[in-house]
Each structure stands twice: as C-alpha cells, then as structure tokens.
Amino acid sequence: MDSLAFYGVPVASRLLLGTAQYPSPSILKDAIERSQADILTVSLRRESTGGSGGREFWKLISGMGCKILPNTAGCHSAKEAITTAEMARDVFDTDWIKLEVIGNADTLQPDVFGLVEAARELSAQGFKVFPYTTDDVIVGEKLLSVGCEVLMPWGAPIGSGKGLNNRFALKAMRAHFPTVPLVIDAGLGVPSHAADAMELGFDAVLLNTAVAKAGDPVMMAEGFALAVKAGRLAYRAGAIEARDMAVPSTPVFGQPFV
C-alpha cells in the first residue's frame, strides 16, 4: 500500500495542480480531469471569490470534487500572507494554506525569514501550513519547528520550466527529512522533470505553468500524471546504480571478471 497523507488527510494523487493561466475554464476542467489530481491550488488574490466576484470560476473549481489548497501567491510580507490566509479560510472553508512569501517580485524567490514568521503565526492559529520554500535544510527544520508537517521546496524558480536546478541539495533534503512529506513546488517544465523528482523520492509534485501554458494543456496534464506514476514506481522499485562501463548480461570469454 503506497499511501500519502498531508496533515493526516489521505491524498489519492501525487500530482497537485494549480488553476491559474489556462486558456479557458473549460480547458482547466478537462486538464484537472485528465491529470487525476486530487488537490488543486487556488489563488485568492486574483480570482476574487468574495462578493459577486468570480463565483462562476469558484463553482467550477469546487465542483471538481478535489481538495482545495488556497495559496498566498503574490504576498510580499508575513503580515500580508497572514491576512490572505485568513481570508482564504473564510472563502474556501479550509484550514489548509499554501504559504508563499515572495522575497523579490522579479525572481519570485521565497523570503524564508518572512516564511518562517508567517508559518509560526498561522500554525498557532490552527492553519495546516504548506510552505513554499527553498532547498535549504535548515530553513526546513525551522519550518517544522514552528508547526509545519509538509515542506514544499522549489525545483527551480517559479514558471522557469527548468526542472530540478540543484539535485544535490534536493537529495540532501530528502535524506535529511526521511519521513516528512516533501512536495516539489515550482520550476518543472516537462514530464521528465516530474519523473526525476519522484525518482529522487519526493512524495509529490505541484505544477501550474507547465500544464496551463502548454500547447495542449489537457494532453500535457495526462503526460505529467503518467510521469509522476512512473517516477514513483521507479523509486519504490529501487533503481540500479549507474556506472561508467558497460555490463554485459552474458559472460565474455577470456575476461573472467567482466
């Protein structure tokens, strides 16, 4: 039984999907279905679900039968992120929050100092915090110490599509936190990047741009779903070690040790 749970809630899919930037709500809906994602991230700021706002959009998202993980995308300080999280709790009726505290509007790097501060405050208020962080293990430890039970390190800068930028740090992070659910949160471009992350033992991946901005987002959603499954199977199966020389599968005469 290969199960995954966030804050004690079982999750059916290891692919988490963002809901921004799709060509239309219909295409978003089809992409979600094809991805078989079980958790959707939703940005509170832009889809303005309050009042008469994006009610139609919110209806579509909530009608998909997935768990909603509201995010604080675009927040630049702990205070702003906390306010957004509190609004999100009211609007989406969930205590889950994907916490983003952006340090620089241009590079979209997480401000890890503000992140820890906001995570402490939100955890104290009873939120289940999913922090978008770097691959720094000490920051990860601080986040766990203030109450986080999941870490979401970046693969590469948001929207860059570069894949796993620092495999060394990510492998170290996996080794350092063997039992904490780790989700690669940003920077993936193609399904092989997702398979790569899963093969390294990450528990799940979160995507948005790579699917939303693909030529055919629905087809790309399926591509990622298959890659995540393939990568997870490879991790569980246990991969062979790479080596520099060929390994003949039958003996070579005259070379007893080859």
Q: Among 4, 13, 33, 48, indicate the residue that binds other proteins (CB under 8 A).
A: 48
- For the question of residue 67 being annotated catalytic, the response is no
- Please state the closest distance from residue 31 (CB atom) to other proteins, in A: 13
Helix (H) or strand (E) holding 181: none
Position 55 contacts other proteins (CB under 8 A)? yes
Q: State which residue, 60 or 234, has the beta carbon closest to other proteins.
A: 60
Position 51 contacts other proteins (CB under 8 A)? yes
Q: Nearest Cα to 230, choosing from 257, 192, 202?
A: 192
Which residues, including other chains, have CB under 8 Å from residue 99's CB and lie 6 or more apart?
71, 72, 81, 85, 115, 118, 119, 122, 129, 130, 131, 132
Q: Is the alpha carbon torsion for 230, 166, 150, 189 positive or negative?
A: negative
| Amino acid occupying residue 82 | I
Q: Among 5, 53, 109, 252, indicate the residue that binds other proteins (CB under 8 A).
A: 53
Position 65 contacts other proteins (CB under 8 A)? no
Q: Nearest Cα to 86, choosing from 73, 70, 100, 101?
A: 70
Dig out the tokens for 156 from the structure.
Answer: 């590469």
Helix (H) or strand (E) holding 182: none
Q: Give me the 141-170 binding string for other proteins, x by CB under 8 A, dash otherwise.
A: ------------------x-x---------
Q: State which residue, 191 or 231, has the beta carbon closest to other proteins.
A: 191
- Please state the closest distance from residue 224 (CB atom) to other proteins, in A: 18
The span from the CA of 221 to the CA of 37, in Å, is: 9
Position 87 contacts other proteins (CB under 8 A)? no
Do 144 and 173 contact (CB within 8 A), yes or no? Answer: no
Q: Which range binds other proteins by CB under 8 A, 47-55, 139-147, 193-201, 223-231?
A: 47-55
From 29, 59, 67, 98, active-site residue: 98
Q: State which residue, 57 or 177, has the beta carbon closest to other proteins.
A: 57
Helix (H) or strand (E) holding 235: helix 217-237
Position 104 contacts other proteins (CB under 8 A)? no
Hey, which residues are catalytic here? 98
Q: Which residues bind other proteins (CB under 8 A)?
A: 23-27, 29, 46-48, 51-57, 60, 159, 161, 213, 215
